Chain A
Amino acid sequence: MTHYRFHILCCGGTGCKASNSAGIVRKFEAVLKEKNINDVQVITTGCFGFCEKGPIVKILPDNTFYVQVKEDDVENIVNEHIIKGRKVERLLYTDPKSEGHVSDSKHMGFYKKQMRIALRNCGFINPEDIREYIAREGYAALGKVLTEMTPEAAIDEMTKSGLRGRGGAGFPTGLKWGFARKSVADQKYVVCNADEGDPGAFMDRSILEGDPHSVIEAMAICGYCIGATKGLVYIRAEYPLAIKRLQIAIDQAREYGLLGKDILGTGFEFDIELRYGAGAFVCGEETALIHSMEGQRGEPTVKPPFPAVKGYMGKPTNVNNVETFANVPVIYLKGADWFNKIGTEKSKGTKVFALAGKINNVGLIEVPMGTTLREIIYEIGGGIKGGKKFKAVQTGGPSGGCLTEKDLDTPVDYESLAAAKSIMGSGGMIVMDEDNCMVAIAKFYLDFTVDESCGKCTPCRVGNKRMNEILDKIIKGNGTMEDIELLKNLATVIQDTALCGLGQTAPNPVLSTLNNFYDEYVAHVKDKKCPAGQCKDLLSYVINPDKCMGCTACARKCPVAAITGTVKQPHKIDQAKCIKCGTCLDTCKFGAISKQ
């Protein structure tokens, strides 16, 4: 048997694949072969969470973390690191604060505060090889549940663990399974919700790409608990890599007899099929999702009846989110009492977030519940980009709200985030700095929900559209103080009357920004100014004649010839022509141009 000296892990997640990680893998294999090195193994893994600095190459056992690796770097890594044992400094991650190279992942602020349960195998195993999953005690939880526990006992264990749904609402998973178990029917279904419509979120995609077997195993466990033999994964067709890996994993599980009839000789039968969604946000709502799988229009219907009573094909159906499922096997392996010691009183375990926006370390992170926003933004995220000032962080995506400086010490858990007037949501976390206009942010989210509304009910179809028009008016400088009041009233009515979660929560970003940044709205309305300098209609570029040296640089760069003047004389911008592209501001070396 070969004793490997090194494992070279190359990220094969969507982000790194897009920047040629597959070419890097091939190159490593070729170079190692050429140099006759056969005690080094190259493995393609799922996402490391550090996609922005991809492609990532991690070398074990010394945990060296190379970022932005190119095919041309491979030879160098082999010669230096593999042959001579010297790290290739220039490819190491640079700490944004100290600006020094960080020798290995154990010393990266990004990883220090993280705790990986749902992502335990992402960036660690080859997701296309069931043997690696089995080596990590994969399917042992299913084995334990099938041979040692009754369905009732297994559901009790789940309830005791305190796991709550990671798809947004945070409903206790054990309770949900209990409801589905109680429903009597000849056929029941386990559905995995992999629709993931929140803009900018990629938690579920990464889990499916990096560790598909954990979801398969969990669905089988759920099937045993509620008495279902069929599982369906509803996944958006825009996730081709996740679909491919999931299908490979399902095929391998069948081949190993871990899906199908008489699993592990216990007589239990379970199998899984994929259903593709077209990527409509509303289809992530469980009733709409079920209709979409049935081949009907993806529109929500009123609950009750809940899916646990009447779901797919009218049969009792248990719907859980991908990340919820990814936690399940570990809970049975390590026990509910292990899991419920992690996190806060009412929110147990960890949560995965897609950290994005104006932050140094953009990426996918997993932290214990109760970690504060400050720790996430400044320690894991490495602080705000370019040394700018933090302004707000949006959690819960288009259904959520923004949190500000005063909320930074809020522990991340369902209750605390709700108390701070936002929500946990599914895991989108977007950081904003002083250059972001909060009215524009509210409009960004509302644009999204208006686009995604299915149009079934009036409050959402018409109401949210009206709100969006008012925001547009304010951003263009035509808003009135009455408009702000109208926004508030409309928001309350829509929240109370829309049929599904999409419409009900769509006004949240508006209310939340009104709450925290009322002055910014007023500035747009009364002073016709955008304090952050983002809303183009409310700002003008002007040249200060005292500072202008008449160098003509700006005039030559302006794409619409809006700047006039003679050499060595102060220049002038024709506001009627200016398209506010900002080029002149970046061009002027004398600081003569400003945004007002």
Chain B
Amino acid sequence: MAVKSLADLKKMSSEFKNTVSLRENGDNVDSLIQIKVAMATCGIASGAKEVMDFYLEELDKQGIKAVVTQTGCMGYCYAEPTIEVKLPGKDPIVFGHVNVEKASEILEKYIKNGELVEGIIPVNYETVK
């Protein structure tokens, strides 16, 4: 395991990075993209877990720094699975009927380019804690 040079050390550091990156991102939430997946019973039944897993993997693959958390029921059970996306400095937006395909569209269009996509639920609630 010996680290033989500074280059070795740097390589090792980036290899180990993902052991702490989830914590580091959580520490800097305000400056990062935040995605909240509603994972109450209604959400899980309608595939929220797959959406969450999709984001965890895809964001990591594409090297996009984001914080993916799950929340309880957001109160839009008719539109489950729902997700809330908050880009830094912007108001949160809630999307309904999100399956993996939709999740991918939201990622490519809204998260990466700020383009709006269909399926936005107008919100007038206080952000769920």
Contacts and interface: CB of A to CB of B under 8 A. Distances in A.
Interface of A: 1, 3-7, 9, 39, 60-63, 83-87, 103, 106, 124-125, 131-132, 134-140, 143-144, 146-147, 255-258, 264-265
B68 A5 contact: yes
Contacts of B8: 264
Contacts of B40: 84-86
B20 A255 contact: no
Interface string B60-100: 10000001111110000000000000000000000000000
Contact of B23 (A3, A5, A124): A124
A5 B3 CA distance: 31
A84 B5 contact: no
Contacts of B39: 83-85
B9 interface: yes
A103 B71 CA distance: 12
A7 B9 contact: no
B70 A85 contact: yes
Nearest to B13: A134
Nearest to A107: B129
A103 B25 CA distance: 18
21 contacts: A3-B56, A3-B60, A5-B52, A5-B56, A5-B70, A7-B23, A60-B27, A62-B69, A83-B39, A84-B39, A85-B69, A85-B70, A135-B13, A136-B20, A138-B13, A255-B1, A256-B2, A257-B1, A258-B3, A264-B4, A265-B5
B20 A125 contact: yes
Nearest to A4: B22
A70 to B, nearest CB: 23
B72 A85 contact: yes
A258 B18 CA distance: 22
A6 B37 CA distance: 13
B47 interface: no
Nearest to B56: A3
A79 to B, nearest CB: 12
Contact of A1 (B1, B4, B5, B18): B18
Interface of B: 1-6, 8-10, 12-13, 16-20, 22-23, 25-27, 29-30, 37-41, 52-53, 56-57, 60, 67-72, 129
Nearest to B39: A85
A7 B3 contact: no
Contacts of B6: 140, 143-144, 146-147, 264
Contacts of B5: 264-265
Contacts of A265: 4-5
A85 B53 CA distance: 15
B68 A137 contact: no
A131 B30 CA distance: 27
Contact of B57 (A3, A106, A140, A143): A3
Nearest to A103: B129
A61 B26 contact: yes
A256 B4 CA distance: 9
A256 B23 contact: no
A87 B17 CA distance: 28
A255 B40 CA distance: 46
Given A60-B26, A139-B9, A143-B6, 5 more contacts: A1-B18, A3-B56, A62-B67, A124-B20, A135-B19
A523 B69 CA distance: 61
B72 A135 contact: no
A403 B57 CA distance: 55
B60 to A, nearest CB: 6
Leading 8 A-B pairs by shortest Cβ distance: A61-B26, A85-B70, A257-B2, A135-B16, A86-B72, A60-B26, A3-B56, A143-B6
B65 to A, nearest CB: 11
Contacts of A106: 29-30
Given A60-B26, A85-B39, A134 B9 contact: yes
A140 B10 CA distance: 7
Given A63-B26, A137-B13, A85 B68 contact: no
Contacts of B22: 4, 6-7, 60-61
The listed residue with most B CB atoms (<10 A of its CB), out of A87, A134, A136, is A134
Contacts of B57: 3
B1 A264 contact: no
B20 A264 contact: no
Contacts of B17: 135
Contacts of A86: 40, 71-72
Contacts of B68: 5, 61
Nearest to A89: B129
Nearest to B16: A135
A6 B22 CA distance: 8
B56 to A, nearest CB: 4
Contacts of A63: 26-27, 29
